[in-house]
Amino acid sequence: MSKKHPAPDITIHDPAEDVKHYPRELRRLQIELGKLQRYVIDRGAKILLIFEGRDSAGKDGTIKRITEHLSPRNIRVVALGKPSNREESEWYFQRYVPHLPAAGEIVIFNRSWYNRAGVEKVMGFCTDAQYEEFMNSIGPFQAMLHQAGIITIKYYLDITKHEQKKRLKARATDPLKQWKISPIDEKAQKYWDEYSAARNAMLSRTHSAETPWVVVRANDKKIARLNILRDLVLRLDHRDASLPKDFPDPMILRSFEPLCITDGFLAP
């Protein structure tokens, strides 16, 4: 069910047109997501979507556009808070496992076990030994998910340091975004380079053919959302093979490869 994109015949969408016709294009893609959900239910598929990324990169808004017109009985969003003392003593993956999808379900993790490779690593919330244990065990864990029939797709939303600064400042002054403010946000700019290094290590060491990372340039939220939806519809291809395929813009979204770090696709 999960497919790699072929190299030829890629339709490149004009970003200016995406912005101009955003409501219309979003509606079209959300209709496709509705069809996709019906396909998942009928086939008894187990879909796990993981959203990671820079603070303020647009994860919440993207997830909202994915879920807002789908059946809530067959899609769940998981956004776990700080672990309790008991959870800290458990096997690291233990508190995530109960939330994995059953047959016919789509589960979206708004941040996930990859916190250990990002926030926890940078902010010193885990030891170096715990970090290395995670990095060494994530491969077998991902393989177990794949063997259990769980289709895992991981999106990493990336923005520039300047754009993050602008968004964090907007959060602080917008009363409708007060719930998004956290003490971690205050450190995002200060530890920018450390987060970049942690991101690069995480993507490089945890990307695999079975559980790939998809990296997204998200400086423009609307363009990023549309391209993520296009990618999702293709990767979980539920349509007749004879229908034309609507590919995401490769300048906005692409499957991770080490070149993403060195060619400037990901913000340094």
Residue pLDDT, tens place only, 42-91: 999 999 999 999 999 999 999 999 999 999 999 999 999 999 999 999 99
Percentage of the chain beyond pLDDT 70 is 94
Determine the pLDDT at residue 11: 56
pLDDT of 26 > 90? The answer is yes
Determine the pLDDT at residue 266: 98
Determine the pLDDT at residue 182: 79
Q: Are 255 and 212 in contact (CB under 8 A)?
A: yes
Burial 74-84 (b: 16+ CB within 10 A, else e): bbebbeeeeee
CA 67, CA 72: separation in Å to the nearest integer? 8
Residue with tokens 């919440």: 60
Query: Strand, coil or helix: what is 156?
Result: strand
Determine the pLDDT at residue 7: 43
Query: Strand, coil or helix: what is 248?
Result: coil
Least confident of 14-18, 122-126, 208-212: 14-18
Determine the pLDDT at residue 1: 54
Q: In this predicted model, which residue has the larger pLDDT, 85 or 1? A: 85
Burial 129-153 (b: 16+ CB within 10 A, else e): eebeebbeebeebbeebbeeebbbb
Determine the pLDDT at residue 4: 46
**Any idea which fold 37-217 has?**
Rossmann fold (3.40.50)
- pTM of the full structure: 0.92
The residues, ordered by sequence, that sit 6+ positions from 1 with a Cβ below 8 Å of its Cβ are 43, 45, 151, 236, 237
pLDDT of 203 > 90? The answer is yes
Mean pLDDT computed over every residue of the chain: 92
Determine the pLDDT at residue 5: 47
- Segment 8-33 mean pLDDT: 82
User: Could you tell me the residue ranges of all domains in the chain?
Assistant: 37-217
Determine the pLDDT at residue 184: 79
- Terminal-to-terminal C-alpha distance of the chain: 34
